[in-house]
Homo-oligomer: A and B are copies of this chain.
Amino acid sequence: MKAAGLKTGMITVMLMAAGAVSAEPAQQQIRHAGSQASVAGPEKLFSGAARIDPLFPGTDQINASGAYVTFEPGARSAWHTHPKGQHIIVTHGVGLTQEWGKPIEQIKPGDVVWCPPGVKHWHGAAPNTAMTHLVVTGQDEEGNNVTWMEKVSDEQYSQ
C-alpha cells in the first residue's frame, strides 16, 4: 500500500475515473454553445412542442443533471414525479405548474420551484405565452431521475 505516498492530484484523478464524467485527468472542461444538440420533447411525454437543451449530466460528484426546457404556448409536460426532487428556475416567458390535487400556479422569470421527491406535478407554458426554465433534476443511485405518468388533459390544463 503506497496510498500515503499518492499526491492529492492523483487521488482526484482516481476519483474522477470512477465517476460518470470521464476517465480523463481532472481538468476544467468547457462545452461551448452549439456543442450539445437540442432534443424534441417526445410526444408521449409532452403535450405540444417542447425542446430540451442539455447542459450537464449527473455525476458521482453532483447527483443532478441540468437542462433548459422550452415550451411553446400551451405546451406542457405529462404528470410525473422525481425520485430525488427537482429545482426549476424560470428564465423566460410565463409558465404554469401544478401539484396533484392543488391549483395551477403561474410562474415567471426569477421564480424558483422546488418539487420534493415523490410529489406528482407538471410544468409548462401559459396558454398564449412560451416559457423556458432551467431544471436541475436529482437522480438516484441507479441514475433514474423521473417517473412518467398520464398526460395533462385539456380539461386539467384549462382550469
Contacts of A61 in B (CB 8 A): 84-85, 116-117, 138
Count copies of this chain in the complex: 2
Contact of A56 among B109, B112, B117 (CB under 8 A): B112
Contacts of A109 in B (CB 8 A): 33
Q: Tell me the bound Cα distance from A9 to B27 in angstroms.
A: 42
Contact (Cβ within 8 A) A12 B110: no
Contact of A28 among B55, B56, B114 (CB under 8 A): B114
Contact string against B for A residues 126-138, beta-carbon threshold 8 Å, 1 for contact and 0 otherwise:
0000000010101
Q: Tell me the bound Cα distance from A102 to B28 in angstroms.
A: 10
Q: Tell me the bound Cα distance from A97 to B59 in angstroms.
A: 22
CB distance from A24 to the nearest CB of B (A): 10
Cβ of A64 < 8 Å from any Cβ of B?
A: yes
Contacts of A102 in B (CB 8 A): 27-28
Contact (Cβ within 8 A) B62 A28: no
Contact of A113 among B28, B113, B118, B121 (CB under 8 A): B28
Q: Given A16-B116, A56-B114, A62-B63, decide whether A28 and B97 contact each other with a Cβ distance below 8 A.
A: yes
Q: Tell me the bound Cα distance from A21 to B108 in angstroms.
A: 22
Contacts of A63 in B (CB 8 A): 62-64
Contact of A110 among B33, B66, B111, B119 (CB under 8 A): B33
* A→B interface (CB under 8 Å): 8-9, 12, 15-16, 21, 26-34, 36, 55-56, 59, 61-64, 66, 84-85, 87, 89, 91, 97, 99, 102, 105, 107-119, 121, 134, 136, 138
